[in-house]
């Protein structure tokens, strides 16, 4: 697909899947090449991994990630639990990381889909049926995200902000709802009913599950969709993905 169309597809639908050859010697070269064709600048190192304590705890210093970080410690046929919905960039402000690229090198024996939720579409639904609750999601005090990395103190590793809002002329999200989030329902009126909406069946029409095969690359707008990794069982060889993130959206 010509790059212009690929960038349009990602920007319009929120995501695209393309084929990209795997390269064991340099698994991130294909990320850099794809990023270039989409007009993205260098891969972005999230604020969390710029923190001295975090770097010491997880040894993560690169803007490119292996998922999981160390496949050598993964037992064959072991199970890996699923994730909660989140956007990448725990400490980033709303819209901080606009694009994420995931590349599948080794597929899980079973499971391991990536679920994408069009949070902005779910917000639009809520706005139709319950405007005060939708407004609560725009409140600067609505959602705190915090790190839970062993060996790192969480006090300074947290950030509070709105769940949705306008950034750079687009309506974007940091909707996340898992063990690294605190919804400040005591401080923001109607936030509890907004959260019920986002935990309820109303999301079914706005999510899609994608199971990547080796060589598949998923490129998505991290500032417009929330996502989660589904649980999986490893095969004889551990499931392996690579990831890179960008502070820009694909350029059409």
Binding site for Fe ion (CB under 5 A): 88
Task: Pick between residue 88 and residue 216 the one whose CB is nearest to Fe ion.
Answer: 88
Closest approach of Fe ion to the CB of residue 153, in Å: 23
Closest approach of Fe ion to the CB of residue 135, in Å: 27
Closest approach of Fe ion to the CB of residue 158, in Å: 18
Closest approach of Fe ion to the CB of residue 88, in Å: 5
CA distance 219 to 212: 11
For residues 187 and 71, the answer to whether their CB atoms sit within 8 Å is no
Which letter does DSSP use for residue 76 in this model? Answer: T
- Print burial letters for 117-133: b (CB count within 10 Å at least 16), e (below 16): bbbbebbeebeeebeeb
Task: Pick between residue 99 and residue 133 the one whose CB is nearest to Fe ion.
Answer: 99
For residues 127 and 138, the answer to whether their CB atoms sit within 8 Å is no
Provide the edge-to-edge strand list for the sheet that holds 232-233. 79-80, 232-233, 110-111
Task: Pick between residue 30 and residue 117 the one whose CB is nearest to Fe ion.
Answer: 117
Task: Pick between residue 88 and residue 181 the one whose CB is nearest to Fe ion.
Answer: 88
């Amino acid at each position: 697909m010509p790059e212009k169309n690929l960038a349009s597809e990602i920007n319009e639908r929120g995501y695209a899947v393309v084929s990209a050859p795997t390269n064991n010697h340099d698994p991130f070269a294909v990320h850099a090449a794809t990023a270039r064709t989409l007009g993205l600048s260098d891969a972005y190192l999230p604020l969390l991994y710029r923190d001295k304590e975090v770097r010491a705890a997880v040894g993560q210093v690169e803007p490119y990630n292996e998922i999981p970080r160390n496949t050598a410690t993964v037992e064959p046929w072991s199970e890996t639990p699923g994730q909660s919905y989140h956007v990448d960039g725990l400490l980033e402000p709303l819209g901080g990381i606009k694009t994420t690229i995931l590349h599948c090198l080794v597929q899980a024996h079973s499971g391991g889909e990536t679920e994408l939720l069009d949070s902005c579409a779910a917000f639009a639904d809520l706005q139709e049926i319950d405007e005060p609750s939708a407004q609560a999601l725009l409140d600067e005090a609505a959602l705190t995200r915090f790190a839970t990395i062993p060996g790192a103190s969480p006090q300074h590793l947290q950030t509070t902000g709105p769940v949705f809002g306008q950034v750079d002329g687009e309506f974007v999200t940091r909707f996340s709802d898992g063990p690294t989030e605190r919804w400040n329902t005591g401080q923001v009126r109607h936030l509890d009913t907004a959260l019920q909406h986002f935990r309820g069946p109303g999301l079914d029409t706005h999510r899609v599950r994608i199971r990547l095969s080796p060589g598949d690359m998923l490129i998505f707008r991290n500032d417009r969709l929330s996502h989660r990794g589904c649980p999986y069982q490893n095969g004889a060889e551990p499931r392996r993905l690579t990831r890179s993130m960008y502070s820009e959206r694909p350029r059409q």
